[in-house]
Structure 1
Amino acid sequence: MEKFTGYYEFNNAEYYALIKVTSKYNLMFNAMKLYIEHVGGYDNLDHMRIEKAHPTKISEDEALLKFIKCEPHQDMRVREVMQVFKSADNSVLIVDESLL
C-alpha cells in the first residue's frame, strides 16, 4: 500500500508546531499523536479535540518555506536544508521557540 505525506501546522494549539507525517492512512490523526508525544500541552486526542486544537494541512511548498525561514536553518546551505527537510518523516519540523 502506498504511503502519503502531509504537513500540518498547529496554530490553534497551546504551542506552535509544524509536523511532517508519512503514513498509509489518517495523516491528521498521526500528526496530532506526534504533537502530543513531542510537543506536549495535551494529555490525549480527546483533550485536543475539546480545546479545538486541530491542525491545518498546508502544502509541501508552504512547509518548506517556513522550514527554510526558521532560524536554525538560515545559516545552512540550501542543499543541507533540503536534505533535512526531505529525510524527516513523522517528525516535528518546527516547534514553538518557548519550548527550546
Structure 2
Amino acid sequence: MENKTNTVKYYEFNQHDYYAMLAVEENEDTIEKAFKLYVEYVGGENVDEIKEEGEPTEIDKNSAILKYFQANGNEDETVRDLTLSFNRTVDLPLLVDGSLL
C-alpha cells in the first residue's frame, strides 16, 4: 500500500522470536494493527501469542529510515531508491529477521 498523506508509525518487534520493523498506517488502534501485521507477515500463531512476548517499540521516522538504509542488502541501492521504497511501504514490514529470508 502506498502512503500519500496518512501518518505512519514505525514499530520494532525486538523482543520477539523474529525481529521486524513495521510501517503501520496510524488509526484508532495502530498498535493492534501492528500485532496483526506481524503475525501475517513475520510469524507467530496468533496475536495473543505475540503480545505475550512483549510490546513492540515505537520509533520515530528518522530512526526507522536510518535502520532501513543501513540494513544488509541495501548497500548497492541509491539513496533516492531507498527513500522512495521506504516512503511507499505502509502496513508492511520494512525489515525482517534474516533467518526468515
TM-score using structure 1 length: 0.90
Deviations 1:52-79 (A, max 9, x none): 2x20000000000000001221111100
Q: Quick one: percent identity of the two aligned structures?
A: 36
Aligned equivalents of 1:3, 1:83: Cα separation in 2: 16
Which residue is equivalent to 2:97? 96
- Aligned counterpart in structure 2 of residue 30 of structure 1, from 30, 33, 39: 33
RMSD: 1.4
After TM superposition, which residue ranges in structure 1, 4 or more long, deviate above 6 angstroms?
A: none
Aligned equivalents of 1:32, 1:72: Cα separation in 2: 25
Other structure's SS at 1:72 match: coil
Aligned equivalents of 1:25, 1:72: Cα separation in 2: 34
Summarize the Cα distance change of 1:49–1:24 in structure 2 as closer, same or farther, 3 Å threshold: closer
Select the structure with the greater relative contact order (CA < 8 A; seq sep ≥ 6): 2
Aligned equivalents of 1:49, 1:88: Cα separation in 2: 23
- Aligned counterpart in structure 1 of residue 9 of structure 2, from 6, 22, 47: 6
User: Which blocks of at least 5 consecutive residues in structure 2 are unaligned?
Assistant: none
1:47 is displaced (CA, Å) by: 1.4
Q: State the AA in 1 paired with 2:45.
A: D
User: Which blocks of at least 5 consecutive residues in structure 1 are unaligned?
Assistant: none
Q: How many residues align?
A: 97
Other structure's SS at 1:71 match: coil
1:43 is displaced (CA, Å) by: 1.4
Aligned equivalents of 2:64, 2:33: Cα separation in 1: 17
Matched, 1:45 2:83: no
Which residue is equivalent to 2:85? 84
